[in-house]
Amino acid sequence: MSYIKINILLLLSIVHIAVFGQDRSYRLFGQVLDKELLEPVVNVHVLVVGTNIGTITDAEGKFEIDLIDREGVRLRFFHTAFEMLEMGLDAADRDLIKVFLQEKQYQTQEIVIRATNESLVRGSVPGKMVLKQKEILITPALLGEPDIVRSLQLLPGIQSVNEGNSGIYVRGGSPGQNYILFDGIELMNPSHLMGIYSVFNPYLVDNVAFYKGNAPVDYNNRLASSIVVNSIDNKKGDYNWVANIGNLTSNICYQGKTRNNKWFFHAGFRRSYLEGIRFVAEQFIEDEENYFTSNKFNFYDFNGKIKYQGKQSSVTLAWYSGGDVFEFAQNRNKIALDNKWGNQGAVVLIKHLFGSRFSMNSSLAYSGYKSDLNLGILEQKLSFNNRYSHVKAQTGFVYDADKHVVRFGLAAQCRQIMPHSLDLSLGSGVDDARIEYLHRIFEVYAGDEYRVLPRLDVYFGGGVQLYQHADKLTNGFSDDKAYSQALDKARFMFKGIVNFTYLLTSHSSIKGSVGYVPQNIHLTSIASIPLPSDVWMPATGKVPEENGKQLTLGYFKEIDKWDVEMGIEGYSRWQENQLMLNVNFQGDEIVDFEDNFFKGESKAYGIEVYAKKSYGKFNSNISYTLGWVQQRFDELNDGKWHDAKYDRRHDLNVLCSYRINDRIDLGGVFVYASGNKTTLPVGRYWMMGDIANDYEGINNYRMPGYQRFDLSVNYKLKSDVFKESVLNFSVINVFNRSNPYFIYYDVLAGEGSYDLDISARQVSLFPILPSISWKFKF
């Protein structure tokens, strides 16, 4: 009996403690941020002083921890890259608290080494490189302001190509094989003015994650790379306005937040007035060779973000709008080119933190793109009008366990694409056609980053897509019933990726990856036109989806004594179902647009070398790529392998900067690349009164190599009005080198009936271009 009484007393004691102890225990939510950059800090250890209670911050820098008592609690925060912080809590601390950590700095004499969250050696994803805003802004500000795409092109594996080309070419891939996200908005063309500027406003960008290998499955929707650009989502510094006024473009940005820190807003607008280029070019180039005598350049962009931050959730609205105009005319040979293009998009993003280890991201995004190309040569005229619209709803989850970081989710999307509204005049008549395609995609994916051993991290992920497609002609041949029935026909597409990182020592590692990825949309090139043009084409019953396989292996090392990080990485890529558009068609061939593609395959392989060094006032980056890219089409070149148009054997980029004093710094960039390949005739002959060209092979001629040396100087002005005031002087193409844009043949009549004077002419785009700009903050 006494035994039962004792158990009852113990049970009552436990219930008493549980009931009355509830008033003394509670759950604390918090977020850890970089004090200077106001960015979330991942993997911070949070410990309750004097206990064994602790946790780790998640990908948003957030944590939650259960505390027994509200009073007298002290928390300690540890991170290898930040100073340790210990702080006490007020009894009323129940909301989401913000904790700010100071980044460590190690300084001896003039050497300053800044610790980073993820190094080249320890990064868990092969081929991933992250650029933060501070790194972007310290690159030489050419043409008045730093540029994100130009910064990316200084990395190994990305071809600098040439002026006049807005595409990004990664490891032999085409521009359409890059998945570009800006705040969750898919952008189809990342550049302004055919590559001079990128569409990203550098003063509003927080960071850029660039995956040139096999990206995690939630970002892996293209064969070549994924570029994820995030704009700032919290106020930086003690200023609200940033402006950059130059002789070629101007840029103005605003950022602000409410006093309770729950609402944040930023917006930026840029506009060019490149009519000034014509005046500069006239000082160095004769009118006959001056590319700017009869042309027009213009661009604008406007983007922004509104964010609400709650205790455990946030809601964000972001948008982007931009457009370009490019016109070229050569009156003597009656050549006229008119090209207009632009991106538009918006996204609503909801983030919710269920706990310190489990979070959710949901988004609804719209993106649109248009490209209008009008080309006239003598009496022949060609017009391509391309349209693209995309709506995507996606929900993803992240679960952070001790040795696992699991990401999984699902997405539904709808695309409507008009590859062309074609008007083709060949002198004898006019043909026109317009066709639109609609497809829907449903996708599920999952990936796990698993720490197998203290020195070994492995990532494996996969996904499956249900792809439904239909086409609908809109030039008098539409069939709504057949259109709806075609949507019921579907195919499945699978992707899979395995990455690994093995630490040889604390300062060296080996990384490798293997992956298989399908791509259900093509960006095709026009075989007979050497000018930029965007023709987006979805996978259909006659046009299969692209498939790509990639294998990479690399060695990476850090030398702390000299503050050097370096790496060497090899890659091999195999791609199937590559498209090239043939515009040599007439009549009813235009209606069946899908039949006018050459279908082939490609392969690319190469070696990349990268080195980065910071020594006091001097910083430098060097990257070099040795690569090969080949293609094969059954209907071209007798089915033989040939070099691709953008096969670049050598690609070298050197970036250097030097800080003379606290007010003056210098920057320089040198770029060298082998010339692009093009197809030129080896001879000509008369046929029925006309001149016909005789060709041997495809891309049988390599154009001259591309070289450019740029300089930039920043001079900080003293000011009692502005938080910062900087004058920038920059010069692009210091040596005034005429880099090739394209080559055409000039034909003049001779003295005899059949005498012709035929000579090759190289068109060069940009001569030496000096610029001056003034950046200020207030």
How remote is the C-alpha of 725 from its chain's centroid?
30
In a domain, 117, yes or no: no
Q: Is the pLDDT of residue 251 over 50?
A: yes
In a domain, 667, yes or no: yes
Q: Which residue has the tokens 């190289």?
A: 762
Backbone angles phi and psi of 587, in degrees to 5: 55, -130
Query: What is the pLDDT confidence band of residue 111, given thresholds at 50, 70 and 90?
Result: very low
Give residue 473's pLDDT. Answer: 55
Q: Hey, what are 582's tokens? A: 């043939």
Residues 89 and 150 in one domain: no
Residues 99 and 154 in one domain: no
Q: Which residue stretches of 231-344 are H helix?
A: 275-282
Give residue 284's pLDDT. Answer: 63
Closest Cα to residue 247, out of 743, 759, 730? 730
Q: Give the H/E segment covering residue 234.
A: none
Q: Which residue has the tokens 């983007």?
A: 303
Domain of 552, CATH number, reads 2.40.170.20
Tell me the sheet residues that pair with 599: 579
Residues 93 and 220 in one domain: no
Backbone angles phi and psi of 243, in degrees to 5: -135, 145
The residue that leads in pLDDT, 513 or 688, is: 513
Q: Hey, what are 167's tokens? A: 């595409």
The residue that leads in pLDDT, 601 or 760, is: 601
The residue that leads in pLDDT, 333 or 310, is: 310
Q: Answer with the one of 69, 103, 137 that is the final residue of a domain.
A: 103
Question: pLDDT over 90 for what percent of the chain?
Answer: 28
Domain of 80, CATH number, reads 2.60.40.1120
Residues 29 and 66 in one domain: yes
Closest Cα to residue 179, out of 447, 548, 487? 548
Q: Give the H/E segment covering residue 355.
A: none
Query: What is the pLDDT confidence band of residue 279, given thresholds at 50, 70 and 90?
Result: low
| Count of structural domains, the chain | 2
Q: Hey, what are 383's tokens? A: 């017009």
pLDDT tens per residue across span 26-83 = 678 888 988 776 778 887 888 888 787 888 887 678 888 877 665 678 888 988 678 8
Give residue 348's pLDDT. Answer: 97
Q: Which residue has the tokens 């005319």?
A: 329
Of 526-540, 665-679, 684-698, highest mean pLDDT: 665-679
Q: How many helices (H) and strands (E) does the chain have?
A: 5, 49
Question: CB within 8 A of 588, min separation 6: which ones?
Answer: none
Give buried/exposed letters for 598-615 (b at 16+ CB in 10 A, else e): bebbbbbbbebebbbbbe
Contact 348, 316 (CB under 8 A): yes
Q: Could you give the angle at the alpha carbon of 418 between the alpha carbons of 416 and 420, nearest 5°?
A: 170
Q: Which residue has the tokens 């080195």?
A: 611
How remote is the C-alpha of 504 from its chain's centroid?
31
Radius of gyration of the chain, Cα coordinates, nearest whole angstrom: 29
Give residue 648's pLDDT. Answer: 86
Residues 25 and 162 in one domain: no
Mean pLDDT, the chain, integer: 79
Residues 316 and 195 in one domain: yes
In a domain, 118, yes or no: no
CA distance 601 to 54: 54
Residues 530 and 611 in one domain: yes
pLDDT tens per residue across span 515-551 = 999 999 998 765 445 444 567 888 888 889 999 999 9
Q: Give the H/E segment covering residue 564.
A: strand 564-581
Looking at residues 161-186, what average pLDDT do you find?
83
pLDDT tens per residue across span 353-366 = 887 788 899 999 99
Query: What is the pLDDT confidence band of residue 683, given thresholds at 50, 70 and 90?
Result: confident
Question: pLDDT over 70 for what percent of the chain?
Answer: 76
Contact 361, 351 (CB under 8 A): yes
If one counts every other C-beta atom within 10 angstroms of the C-beta of residue 476, the result is: 8
Contact 571, 608 (CB under 8 A): yes
Domain span holding position 410: 128-777
Give residue 478's pLDDT. Answer: 45
Q: List the single range of 51-65, 151-165, 170-184 with lowest mean pLDDT.
A: 151-165
In a domain, 684, yes or no: yes
Looking at residues 167-174, what average pLDDT do you find?
85
Give residue 322's pLDDT. Answer: 94
In a domain, 112, yes or no: no
Q: Is the pLDDT of residue 116 over 70?
A: no
Residues 92 and 152 in one domain: no
Q: Hey, what are 519's tokens? A: 């791509």
Residues 56 and 140 in one domain: no
pLDDT tens per residue across span 559-585 = 877 778 899 999 999 999 998 877 665
Query: What is the pLDDT confidence band of residue 110, given thresholds at 50, 70 and 90?
Result: very low
CA distance 337 to 743: 15
Q: Which residue stretches of 195-332 are H helix?
A: 275-282
What is the Cβ-side half-sphere exposure of residue 78, based on CA atoms within 13 angstroms?
Answer: 8
In a domain, 122, yes or no: no
Contact 666, 660 (CB under 8 A): yes
Give residue 146's pLDDT. Answer: 81
Give residue 438's pLDDT. Answer: 87
Residues 200 and 250 in one domain: yes
Q: Is the pLDDT of residue 444 over 80?
A: yes
Q: Is the pLDDT of residue 109 over 50?
A: no
CA distance 146 to 197: 9
The residue that leads in pLDDT, 510 or 701, is: 510
If one counts every other C-beta atom within 10 angstroms of the C-beta of residue 653, the result is: 22
Give residue 579's pLDDT. Answer: 87
CA distance 373 to 526: 12
CA distance 759 to 775: 47
In a domain, 137, yes or no: yes
In a domain, 390, yes or no: yes
The residue that leads in pLDDT, 298 or 465, is: 465
> Between β-strands 26-34 and 97-101, what pairing exists: parallel, antiparallel or unpaired?
parallel
Q: Which residue has the tokens 């210990």?
A: 86
Question: CB within 8 A of 13, min separation 6: which ones?
Answer: none
Give residue 602's pLDDT. Answer: 94
Q: List the single range of 216-230, 489-503, 533-547 with lowest mean pLDDT.
A: 533-547
Residues 142 and 79 in one domain: no
Cα distance between the two ends of the chain: 81
CA distance 35 to 236: 10
Residues 426 and 337 in one domain: yes
Q: Answer with the one of 87, 103, 119 that is the final residue of a domain.
A: 103
Query: What is the pLDDT confidence band of residue 16, given thresholds at 50, 70 and 90?
Result: very low
β-sheet with 62-67: strand ranges across: 62-67, 26-34, 97-101
Query: What is the pLDDT confidence band of residue 14, given thresholds at 50, 70 and 90?
Result: very low
Give residue 20's pLDDT. Answer: 39
